Chains A and B, each alone.
Chain A
Amino acid sequence: MTLRVDDLRVHYRTLRGEVKAIDGVTFDVGDGEILGLAGESGCGKTTLGKSLIRMDGRMRLAGGAAELDGEELPIGDDHRMNPFRFTKVSIIPQYSMSAMNPTRRIGRMVAELLRSRGRQLDTDELGRRLDLVELPREVLQRYPIELSGGMKQRMVMVISTLLDPSLLIADEITSALDVSTQKAVARTLVEFRDRGFVRSMIFITHDISLTYQIADTIMVMYAGKLAEKAPAGVIVGEPRHPYTRLLISSLPEVGVRYTDRRLAGIPGEPPSLLDPPAGCRFRDRCPLAFDKCAEEPPVVEVEPGHHVACWKA
Chain B
Amino acid sequence: MTAVPARRHEGLYFAIRNGKLLAGLVVLVPLIVLAVAGPMFVEGDPNAYVGIPASSPSAEHWFGTTMFGQDIFAQFLYGMRVTFVVGLLGGGLAAIIGMVIGFTAGYRGGLVDEVLNMLTNIVLVLPALAVLLIVNAYLGIRSVGVQALFIGLTSWPWAARAIRAQTFSLRSRDFVDLARLSGVRTWKIIVREIAPNMSSYLFMTFILLFGGSILIAASLDFIGLGPSQGVSLGLMLNNAARWSALHLGMWWWFVPPGAGITAIVGALYVTNVGLDEVFNPKLREL
Which residues of B are found within 8 Å of A13, using beta-carbon distances? 286
Judge whether B2 and A47 touch: CB under 8 Å: yes
Residue B10 interfacial (CB < 8 Å): yes
Residue B130 interfacial (CB < 8 Å): no
- 0 or 1 for each of A22-57: is its CB under 8 Å from B? (1 = yes): 000000000000000000011010110000000001
Judge whether B2 and A19 touch: CB under 8 Å: yes
Residue B251 interfacial (CB < 8 Å): no
12 contacts between A and B (CB under 8 A): A13-B286, A14-B3, A14-B5, A15-B10, A16-B5, A19-B3, A42-B1, A46-B1, A47-B2, A57-B286, A58-B286, A273-B2
Nearest CB in chain B: distance from A263 CB, A:
16
Which residues of A are found within 8 Å of B203, using beta-carbon distances? none
Nearest CB in chain B: distance from A98 CB, A:
14
Judge whether A15 and B2 touch: CB under 8 Å: no
Which residues of B are found within 8 Å of A19, using beta-carbon distances? 2-3
Residues in chain B within 8 A of chain A (CB atoms): 1-3, 5, 10, 13, 286
Residue A97 interfacial (CB < 8 Å): no
Interface residues of A in 1-22 (CB under 8 A from B): 12-16, 19, 21
Question: Which A residue's beta carbon lies closest to that of B1?
Answer: A42
Count A-B contacts at CB 8 Å.
24
Q: Which of B3, B5, B10, B13 has the most CB atoms of chain A within a 10 A radius of its CB?
A: B3
Which residues of A are found within 8 Å of B5, using beta-carbon distances? 14-16
Measured CA separation A13–B5 after assembly (Å): 12
A sample of 9 more A-B contacts (CB under 8 A), given A15-B13, A16-B5, is: A14-B3, A14-B5, A15-B5, A19-B2, A21-B2, A41-B1, A57-B286, A58-B286, A274-B3
Residue A141 interfacial (CB < 8 Å): no
Which residues of B are found within 8 Å of A12, using beta-carbon distances? 2
Which residues of B are found within 8 Å of A47, using beta-carbon distances? 2
Interface residues of A in 247-266 (CB under 8 A from B): none
A44-B2 contact, Cβ under 8 Å, with A15-B10, A15-B13: yes
Q: Which of B1, B3, B286 contacts A272 (CB 8 A)?
A: B3
Judge whether B2 and A42 touch: CB under 8 Å: yes
Measured CA separation A58–B3 after assembly (Å): 14
Which residues of B are found within 8 Å of A14, using beta-carbon distances? 3, 5
Q: Which of B2, B3, B5, B10 has the most CB atoms of chain A within a 10 A radius of its CB?
A: B2
Measured CA separation A42–B2 after assembly (Å): 5
Which residues of A are found within 8 Å of B13, using beta-carbon distances? 15
Nearest CB in chain B: distance from A221 CB, A:
12
Measured CA separation A161–B5 after assembly (Å): 37
Nearest CB in chain B: distance from A267 CB, A:
19
Which residues of B are found within 8 Å of A57, using beta-carbon distances? 286
Measured CA separation A46–B3 after assembly (Å): 14
Measured CA separation A272–B4 after assembly (Å): 10
Measured CA separation A41–B1 after assembly (Å): 8
Measured CA separation A12–B13 after assembly (Å): 18
Measured CA separation A46–B10 after assembly (Å): 23
Nearest CB in chain B: distance from A18 CB, A:
10
Nearest CB in chain A: distance from B135 CB, A:
41
Question: Which B residue's beta carbon lies closest to that of A41?
Answer: B1
Nearest CB in chain A: distance from B61 CB, A:
50
Nearest CB in chain B: distance from A302 CB, A:
29
Interface residues of A in 233-282 (CB under 8 A from B): 272-274
Which residues of A are found within 8 Å of B10, using beta-carbon distances? 15
Judge whether B3 and A273 touch: CB under 8 Å: yes
Q: Which of A13, A15, A21 has the most CB atoms of chain B within a 10 A radius of its CB?
A: A15
Nearest CB in chain A: distance from B28 CB, A:
26
Which residues of A are found within 8 Å of B286, using beta-carbon distances? 13, 57-58
Question: Which B residue's beta carbon lies closest to that of A42?
Answer: B2
Which residues of A are found within 8 Å of B1, using beta-carbon distances? 41-42, 46
Question: Which A residue's beta carbon lies closest to that of B17?
Answer: A15
Question: Which B residue's beta carbon lies closest to that of A12?
Answer: B2
Measured CA separation A16–B14 after assembly (Å): 12
